[in-house]
Every structure is written in C-alpha cells, then in structure tokens.
C-alpha cells in the first residue's frame, strides 16, 4: 500500500513525480503529496484526496513547481485518518529533512514518547513523522550524515518500510531503504528515479535496480547508487536489470477503465501464460521451475496453497485440479491465518504461494514461515522480480502483464492457467491420467483463449442483466465443484467495486442456512454449466425458484433446461470440466463491472482498497 516516487537529475522533477503518482495510485489513493527542492527552498504540498486533487490544489494556489529533485507519495492510510496533515511527505522538526514512507513502523509509539521527552513535537498521527524525527535526532546527536542517520534509525525500528529521505543540506542525494515494501531505482543518464514499481520511469529508462529487504541506498547525482545492508553496513554490488515492460501496457488503450481493459485482455494474457510452456503437437508441458524440482514436488506428501483474496480463490480452483488430476492432497489456506496458527509443516510438504503483486505482506510472511520449517516453496506471481518471486525456491510467472485495476481479473484466469499446467504436468509424470486424457486437456487448454473471446461477446447482453439487478442490496453466487471458487470470486468482484453485499456458496450448502435469505428481492447467480454436477445444480435452482428468488444462470451454450427456469441466462462456450472456471468467471467480471459503472462507483479505485496489500 502507498506509492512512493522520487526524482533527482537535470529535468524538472514535478511533472515526473506527478505522473508517477498517477501511475502508482492503484496502491492507495486517500491522500497525496509532493516535496520539491528548487536549489534554495524545500517546498511541500499535500492534500487529502487523489493525485488529481493535489494537482488542482497546486495549480489553484499557484504554487511553484520548479526544482530538479523531489519526492512524492500517494497514501493508503494506516496510522491516522486520511487528512491533509497525515498526508506524506513529512518534515522533521527542523524542516530540513523530509520523508515519504510505504509501510508501518510498529514500535512508533514508544519512539514517539522518547522523542517527545527530548522536546520533539508532532503535528500528525503518523508513524512516518516519528521516523523522520528519529532520523533527525540520530543525525544531530551522533553528528553523522543523512545516510548513516537513516541506517542507525532503521536499526531501532520494528516494522515494514520503503522510504525515501531528502535533506536540504545535501541536495545532490536521496536516501532510500526497504524492508517488506517494494522499492525500485530507475537508472538514467545523469538522473535517477525512485518508485514503488517501475511504471513511473518507464519512458525515461529501462534500467532498474530492485532493492532487497534490509538494504538501503544512497542515490547520488554524480556518484551513482551505493547500496548497503542496513544491519551490518556491508556494501552490496548494484544489480541493474533491463525492464521488459512497455509504456503501452500501462495505459488504458481506449477503454474507460483499466478493469475493462484487463477483462478484455484475458484471451491474450492466457495465451501469454501458456506460450512456450504448452506444446500440444508434441504432447508436452515445459516449466523450468517444475522441471528443475520435479522429484521434490512429485514426492510431496501434500501441497499447501497459501494466498489472499482473489489469488486464494485461484488456489481453491487448484485444489480441485491437483486432487482430481494429479491425486496429490491439497490444502488451501488464507496466508493471514496460516502464518499465525502454528501450522504443522514438514520437509515433505510443498507450498504453492499465489500472488499477483508478489508483495502481499501476509503471503510473504507465510512463505518465510513455511521455508523456516523446511518446506519447498513454489511461487505463482505476476510481477516479475517481486518480493515473493524472489523469496520462493522456484516459481512460474503468470505473464499477465501489468494489472492496474484494483479488482483482480486477468491475474485470476492466468493464475488458474499456470496451476492447470502444473497439475497436468504432475499428473502426467505420476501417471494418474492416461495419455489421451492428458492430450485432450492440452488441446482444450489451447482453445480457451478463443472461447474467452466468445464469452466476452456477451457483453451487451450482460449489460442488460446488470441494469436489471444494479439496485439489489444483496446477491448470492452459487457454484459446485470447480465452479464453487468461481462463485466466491464473482461475489468478491461485486462487493469490492459496487459495494453491494454478496456471498458465494457451494450450491448444495444453500439448504443448510442461506436458503432462508431467498425471497423475490434476492438475485441468485448460479453457475450451471453442463460439465460438473449439472443435474444437481438444476435441482438447487428449482429450490431457489420455488422460494421466488431471481435466478441468473451462467450456462453452457445451447442449454435449454436452465433457460426455462431462470430469469436470465448468460451463455459461455463448452469445455472440459476442469477448465470451466476460465470461462464462467468472464461474465461475472463483466456483470460486476457494469453494475459498478451504472452505480457511478470508482471502478479502478474502489473505496478503502489498494492493489497491493503490503501491510498486515
């Protein structure tokens, strides 16, 4: 959560930082601020609200925006409500130092108390203002330069951070540090960029250094980047990576919202996921991360999947696929529960951690716990070079491209694609499915992008369904087997962007409680594809109908039975059962999207949410 940006070089820093903040707004958008140094003065502007509010404020107040060095922040509040004062950047008491921070300083209260005893005053409720004053205190008392002061201060704090600190007495440098939150340094010609991810500096440089946890760097104009370990002060040689991202990938490309663009990108994204891995002609799946660790994975007693949110739903789909095809027992855990419940993990366990961002704090902590108990940890991530990708023993990227809409869409379907490839590969190696079943799966998987495209053609029809149910106060989503996780995901999509209360349930679980909710006001979205317990789901639909619930069936093309019972049906192409989630998810994503647009909600930046949850 929170996005940080910095620039030091010869260009005007303001437009670079402002545009960078807009690109990082997916990380948090309840307040924003920028500090600029113009060679004489350190100027600061911040406000509650979005980056556009900050821009308007700066324009309206005719604030000066010149300066070749500066830092900026877009916030997702942790300590202190979103207001102007709590917004970042924060000055130190002397007004000489300024900081931006993504993360949480857990022991800020005790440090604050000590600093108050020493005469420091605080205007905000944030942990960040405490950190910058701690740095100032160390700098003064120990008579050290900014870099050393940051290092000494960080050795006193407990928590997570990506920070950038500027000292107006040392205007040729910015000091950055990272623990638990991401931080990239863009390396240009006589200029440097600092950001939570590489998107703010893509048009300026394709060279980036990703700091590792417990590293800090002094980014100095003429001397370059010097990286040190925060704990023991040892020097680290900077590893400069060549970025593969393009600017076009991070703009809306004619769509009204990133979410809609990303929904429509799914056919290509799924293709990109299996490209180079799936070879239907030769009947092969190649995945380096699996191939290189095959014995370890095949000999696993069980697979434990850890993830959060939508990624956890992808993990639930994986449970069905792995158990069904590869006959390996699977448990799927919320990372936040797993990390704190003293789980039994052995060296014979394989853990699969799923994360779009690769930065989710709970998933990262769960990985570390599993590793400490000797488990082999395999990552399924989208963001290349992310913390989770680096923390895991091996992994497979989803190659979905940047997902910027806060509601996850293409990440989900590409995660399922990767997990399906893994399950098929293991099933083949173990001999738990026949050659012909394996081959049939490969053929069907290759057809999925085309079928997703077909499912997307239902968009106009889905809009009319959305119009009918947009004013509902509650909704139910039902599915069985492989489509139970899709029901959960459909409900989550609706909740998070339209703020309509929605619940996902296994269809047969209805009669154990939720059926009491059904009346003529309750829309029930039922996934009733031909493959997968079809007759049983039809019976569940009958039960809802006889209690006057409104039924919207997600059905296989040409279905007649559900059509007769349902108020609306939305068709998806036919496929094998294990692949149906890749198709049934599509109309549910579009439905949520259209309902949210009709309700005039901020689809790409829903309230209270942020794209990557880097705090507990």
> What is the set of active-site residues?
2, 611
CA distances from 143 to 139, 148, 149 (A): 5, 10, 9
Q: How far is the CB of 277 from ligand F6R (least distance, A)?
A: 21
For the chain, report the end-to-end CA distance as a whole number of angstroms: 10
Quote the tokens at residue 600.
């005039």
Report how far residue 350's alpha carbon sits from residue 488's, in angstroms, rounded to the nearest whole number: 25
- Answer yes or no: are the C-beta atoms of 452 and 583 closer than 8 Å: yes
Report how far residue 404's alpha carbon sits from residue 416's, in angstroms, rounded to the nearest whole number: 19
Q: How far is the CB of 363 from ligand F6R (least distance, A)?
A: 5
Task: State the pairing for strand pair 184-187/207-210.
Answer: antiparallel
Quote the tokens at residue 95.
């007004």
- The residue whose two tokens read 């990557």 is 612
Q: How far is the CB of 380 from ligand F6R (least distance, A)?
A: 9
- How far out from the chain centre does Cα 2 lie? 12
3-class DSSP assignment, residue 592: helix
Q: Give bridge partners of residue 303 from the DSSP assignment.
A: 330, 350
C-beta closer to ligand F6R: residue 192 or 210: 210
Task: State the pairing for strand pair 523-528/550-556.
Answer: parallel
CA distances from 498 to 407, 469, 487, 591 (A): 11, 12, 16, 10
Rg over alpha carbons for the chain, rounded to the nearest Å, is: 25
- Neighbour count for residue 191 (Cβ, 10 Å): 20
Q: Give the DSSP H/E element, type plus range, for residue 374.
A: none
- Answer yes or no: are the C-beta atoms of 583 and 575 closer than 8 Å: yes
- The dihedral built from the CA positions of residue 421, 423, 428 and 432, taken in this order, carries a sign that is negative
Comparing every residue's Cβ against ligand F6R, the nearest one is 309
Report how far residue 16's alpha carbon sits from residue 464's, in angstroms, rounded to the nearest whole number: 42
In sequence order, what DSSP letters do the residues of 191-222 get, joined into one string?
Answer: -EEEESSSGGGTTT-SEEEEPPTTEEEEEETT
Quote the tokens at residue 261.
């663009």
Nearest to 169 by CA among 66, 221, 225, 97: 97
Burial (Cβ within 10 Å: 0-12, 13-18, ≥19) of residue 183 = buried
3-class DSSP assignment, residue 522: coil
Helices (H), 306-406: 309-321, 335-338, 361-372, 387-391
Report how far residue 117's alpha carbon sits from residue 85's, in angstroms, rounded to the nearest whole number: 22
Quote the tokens at residue 583.
């198709």
- The residue whose two tokens read 């000494």 is 152
Q: For 217, phi and psi rounded to 5 degrees? A: -140, 145
Helices (H), 482-533: 484-498
The three-state (H, E, C) secondary structure of 295-329, written as one string? HHHHCCCEEEEEECHHHHHHHHHHHHHHHHHHCCC
Footprint on this chain of ligand F6R (rule: CB under 6 A): 308-311, 355-357, 360, 363, 407-408, 492, 496, 612-613
């Amino acid at each position: 959560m929170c996005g940080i940006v910095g620039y030091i070089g010869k260009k005007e820093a303001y437009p670079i930082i402002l545009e960078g903040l807009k690109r990082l707004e997916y990380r948090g958008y309840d307040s924003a601020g920028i500090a600029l140094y113009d060679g004489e003065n350190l100027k600061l502007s911040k406000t509650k609200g979005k980056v556009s509010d900050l821009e308007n404020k700066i324009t309206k107040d005719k604030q000066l925006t010149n300066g070749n060095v500066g830092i900026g922040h877009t916030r997702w509040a942790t300590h202190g409500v979103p207001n102007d004062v709590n917004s970042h950047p924060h000055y130190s008491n002397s007004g000489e130092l300024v900081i931006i921070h993504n993360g949480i300083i857990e022991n800020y209260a005790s440090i604050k108390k000590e600093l108050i005893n020493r005469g420091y005053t605080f205007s905000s409720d944030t942990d960040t203002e405490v950190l910058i004053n701690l740095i100032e205190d160390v700098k003064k008392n120990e008579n050290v330069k900014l870099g050393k002061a940051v290092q000494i201060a960080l050795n006193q704090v407990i928590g997570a951070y990506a920070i950038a600190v500027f000292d107006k007495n040392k205007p040729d440098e910015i000091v950055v540090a990272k623990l638990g939150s991401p931080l990239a340094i863009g390396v240009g010609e006589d200029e440097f960029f600092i950001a939570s991810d590489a998107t703010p500096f893509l048009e300026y440089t394709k060279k980036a250094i990703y700091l590792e946890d417990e590293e800090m760097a002094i980014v100095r104009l003429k001397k370059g980047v010097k990286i040190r370990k925060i704990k023991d002060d040892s020097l680290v040689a900077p590893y400069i990576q060549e970025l593969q991202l393009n600017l076009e990938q991070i703009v809306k490309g004619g769509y009204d919202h990133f979410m809609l663009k990303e929904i429509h990108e799914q056919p290509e994204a799924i293709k990109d996921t299996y490209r180079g891995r799936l070879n239907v002609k030769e009947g092969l799946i190649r995945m380096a991360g699996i191939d290189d660790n095959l014995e370890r994975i095949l000999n696993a007693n069980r697979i434990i999947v850890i993830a959060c949110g939508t990624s956890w739903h992808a993990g639930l789909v994986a449970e069905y696929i792995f158990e069904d095809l590869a006959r390996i027992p699977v448990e799927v855990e919320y990372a936040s529960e797993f990390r704190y419940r003293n789980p039994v993990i052995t060296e014979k366990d394989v853990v699969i951690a799923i994360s779009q961002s690769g930065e989710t704090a709970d998933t990262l902590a769960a990985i570390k716990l599993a590793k400490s108990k000797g488990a082999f940890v395999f990552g399924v991530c989208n963001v290349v070079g992310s913390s989770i990708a680096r923390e895991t023993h091996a992994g497979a990227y989803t190659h979905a491209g940047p997902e910027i809409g806060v509601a996850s869409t293409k990440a989900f379907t590409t995660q399922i694609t990767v997990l399906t490839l893994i399950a098929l590969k293991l099933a083949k190696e173990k001999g738990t499915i026949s050659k012909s079943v394996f081959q049939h799966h490969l053929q069907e998987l290759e057809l999925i992008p085309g079928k997703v495209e077909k499912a997307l053609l239902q968009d106009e029809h889905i809009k009319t369904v959305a119009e009918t149910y947009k004013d509902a106060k509650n909704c139910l989503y039902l599915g069985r087997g492989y489509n139970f996780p899709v029901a959960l995901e459909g409900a989550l999509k609706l909740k998070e962007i339209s703020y309509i209360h929605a619940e996902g349930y296994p269809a047969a679980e209805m009669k154990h409680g939720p059926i009491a909710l059904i009346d003529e006001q309750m829309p029930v979205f039922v996934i009733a594809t031909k493959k997968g317990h079809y007759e049983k789901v039809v019976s569940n639909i009958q039960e809802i109908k006889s209690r006057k619930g409104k039924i919207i069936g997600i059905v296989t093309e040409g279905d007649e039975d559900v059509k007769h019972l349902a108020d609306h049906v939305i068709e998806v192409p036919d496929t094998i059962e294990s692949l149906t989630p890749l198709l049934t998810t599509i109309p549910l994503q579009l439905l949520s999207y259209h309902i949210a647009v009709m309700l005039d909600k901020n689809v790409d930046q829903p309230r209270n949410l942020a794209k990557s949850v880097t705090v507990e």
